[in-house]
Amino acid sequence: MHFDPTLFAQQLINGLSLGGIYALIALGYTMVYGIIELINFAHGDVYTLGTFFSLAILTLLGVTGVVTGPMLIVVVAVTILGAMILCGLTGVIIERLAYRRLRNAPKLAPLITAIGMSFILENLMLYWKGPSPIPFPAVIPNPEFTLGAVTIQAKQVMVILLAIVLMVVLQAFVYNTKLGKAMRATAQDKDAAQLMGININTTIALTFLIGSALAGAAGFVSGVYYGSTWFFNGFGAGLKAFTAAVLGGIGNLAGAMLGGFLIGLIEAMTTQFIGDQWSNVVVFSVLVIVLIFRPSGLLGEALPNKV
């Protein structure tokens, strides 16, 4: 097949949009792992819960289609904030109920608990909205921009921008605020941090709050982007996002975003140049190869004082 630069650029956009959603989910995975070294398998389902909460809020607001004018800003702000708050609270509750007691248990116990939480959330959503994919209102107008022969939809721009903006905000929060400092201290050494007067429980709860809130934002965005959701969405997306976090270097915020975008791109390009059915194979092959040469991921560094 001859190489078509326009098509390549179009697939770049597709890949980056898909990657943006992975990146938003991966940020939550990586934050939680960075602090308590727990792979929170329930995170993908919190993301799905984000689309469900968004849908519920939109239904309450009476939104069924595209909103225009100043109301658009209100609707989007209310929905996204609402989903973020509800998901954040869900994350905090999960941490309090399921993980806190197991914080000093062998690593396997919280891991299995996380898988259990994932099942619980999936089945709660199955019970709530039923097992079929549910249509999601378009909400934002979706004009198309053309750059040469390449078409970019407004919602694709939204996904990509939101992923970058939230990553930058999060980075600033973690590195420039007192709470962020507390999070980093907790990540380095829980006992020492506690001796320095940091409330470990609050800090870890805060991490779950922020990570899950990001999943809520991702939930809204993916609902708008795909126009549908279903209870099992989090399984596939969560797995890819987790892979993104590992690929970028788990525990590293910029790495999570890089990993997310990379996986989105690999999927799109595999579909274009090899075949859709091979996209998972290629994604995970790349992961294996990267981990052989850089076991801590692309941007991951061997952190001091871990374990």
Partner 1 sequence: MRLSVPQAILAVALAASLSACTSSSSSSSSAASSGPSGGTIKIGVDLPVSGADASIGMPTQNGAVLAVEEANRNGFAGGKFKLDTSLLDDAVQGKHDPAAGAQNVKTFISDSAVLAMVGPFNSNVAKSEIPLTNDAGLAQISPSNTNDGLTIGDDAKKLRTAHPDVNTYFRVCTRDAKQGAALAQVAADRLKLKKVFVIDDNETYGKGLADVFDTSFRQLGGTVLGHEHITANQVDFKALLTKIKAQGPDAVFFGGNTSTGGGLIRRQMADVGLGKTPFLGGDGISDDEFEKQAGDSANGSYMTVASPDATKLPSAKAFVDAYKARFKTDVGPYSANAYTAAKIEIAAFEKAIADAGGKMPTRGDVLKYIAATKEYDSPIGKVGFDANGDTTSPVLSLLNVQGGKKVVIDVIQLKS
- Share of the chain residues as helix, strand and coil, in percent rounded to the nearest 5: 75, 5, 20
**What's the rounded Cα separation, in Å, for the pair 91 and 296?**
26
Q: Say whether 26 sits in a helix, a strand or coil.
A: helix
For partner 1, how many residues bind (rule: CB under 8 A)?
A: 45
Work out how close the CB of 11 gets to partner 1 at its nearest, in angstroms, rounded to a whole number. Answer: 6
**What's the rounded Cα separation, in Å, for the pair 118 and 107?**
17
Binding pattern to partner 1, positions 119-148, x when CB under 8 A? xx-xx--x----xxx-x-------------
Q: Are 212 and 91 in contact (CB under 8 A)?
A: yes
**Residue 105 engages partner 1 in binding (rule: CB under 8 A):** no
CB nearer to partner 1: pick between 188 and 228 = 228
**Residue 184 engages partner 1 in binding (rule: CB under 8 A):** no
Work out how close the CB of 181 gets to partner 1 at its nearest, in angstroms, rounded to a whole number. Answer: 30
Please provide residue 144's backbone torsions phi and psi, each rounded to the nearest 5 degrees: -105, 135
Work out how close the CB of 12 gets to partner 1 at its nearest, in angstroms, rounded to a whole number. Answer: 10
**Residue 284 engages partner 1 in binding (rule: CB under 8 A):** no
CB nearer to partner 1: pick between 34 and 41 = 41
**Residue 79 engages partner 1 in binding (rule: CB under 8 A):** no
List 116, 141, 143, 295, residue binding partner 1 (CB under 8 A): 116
**Residue 11 engages partner 1 in binding (rule: CB under 8 A):** yes
CB nearer to partner 1: pick between 267 and 299 = 267
Work out how close the CB of 135 gets to partner 1 at its nearest, in angstroms, rounded to a whole number. Answer: 6
**What's the rounded Cα separation, in Å, for the pair 63 and 65?**
6
State which of positions 195-224 bind partner 1 (CB under 8 A). none
Can you list the alpha helix ranges (DSSP code H) found in 68-199?
Answer: 70-94, 108-129, 154-176, 178-188, 190-195
**What's the rounded Cα separation, in Å, for the pair 158 and 17?**
9
Q: For residue 233, give the nearest of 129, 157, 142, 79 by alpha carbon.
A: 129
Q: For residue 215, give the nearest of 274, 256, 262, 173 by alpha carbon.
A: 256
Summarize as ranges the residues that interact with partner 1 (CB under 8 A).
4, 7, 10-11, 14-15, 17-18, 96-98, 101, 113, 116, 119-120, 122-123, 126, 131-133, 135, 151, 153, 226-228, 230-233, 235-237, 267-269, 271-272, 275-277, 279-280
